[in-house]
Structure 1
Amino acid sequence: MNKIVLIILAILLPPVAVFLKSGVGKDLIINIILSCLFFIPGVLHALWLITK
C-alpha cells in the first residue's frame, strides 16, 4: 500500500493504519490501547510503525 495513504490514515485513524501495515497482532493491540488512553501516543506509534 502507498506510504502516503498510510501516513494520512495514521494521523486520522491510527489503529486502521497499523492493521493495514502489520495485520492483527501485538502492534495492533498496543496501538488500540494507546489510542484509547490518549490519541497522540497512538498516532506516534502508528507513524513509527509505518516509517520503520
Structure 2
Amino acid sequence: MISALVLVIIAIFLPPVAVFIIAGCGADVLVNICLTLLGYLPGHIHAFYLMYVYYNKKEQAANGVYDSRPAPAVYSDNVQTGGRGYGAMGTS
C-alpha cells in the first residue's frame, strides 16, 4: 500500500498516475487524462478530489461507519469503497 504522502507527491507531478494508483484502469483515469490535457490545474483538482474521497471512505470504514451514497463524479468502485475492493464494505 502506497502512503498518502507519496501519493500526494505523485499527484503534484503526474495526476493521471496518482489516479491510476487509487482507482485502477478505468473511466476516472481517462477523465483525469483529458482534464490534464485541457490544463494542468483541472487534472490536479480531479486527482486530489479522488484522493479525498478515497481516504475519507477508508477512514469511515475503519471507524465502522458506512455511507452508502456514492460520491459524485467518481466512477471507480475502489475509490467509492475506500479501497475495500468491489462490492459491499461490510462483508470484508
Q: Figure out how many residues of one structure are paired with residues of the other and give that number.
A: 52
Q: Which residue of 2 aligns with 1:14?
A: 15
Between the aligned partners of 1:40 and 1:34, the Cα distance in structure 2 is 8
Between the aligned partners of 2:49 and 2:12, the Cα distance in structure 1 is 11
Q: Which has the larger radius of gyration?
A: 2
Percent identity, please.
46
Give the ranges of 4+ consecutive aligned residues of structure 1 lying more than 3 Å apart after TM superposition: none
Normalised to the residue count of structure 2, the TM-score between the two structures is 0.55
Normalised to the residue count of structure 1, the TM-score between the two structures is 0.93
Which structure exhibits the higher relative contact order, with contacts defined as CA atoms closer than 8 Å and separated by 6 or more residues?
1
RMSD across aligned positions (CA): 0.7
Give 2:15's aligned amino acid: P
Structure 1: where are the runs of 5+ without partners? Answer: none
Structure 2: where are the runs of 5+ without partners? Answer: 54-92
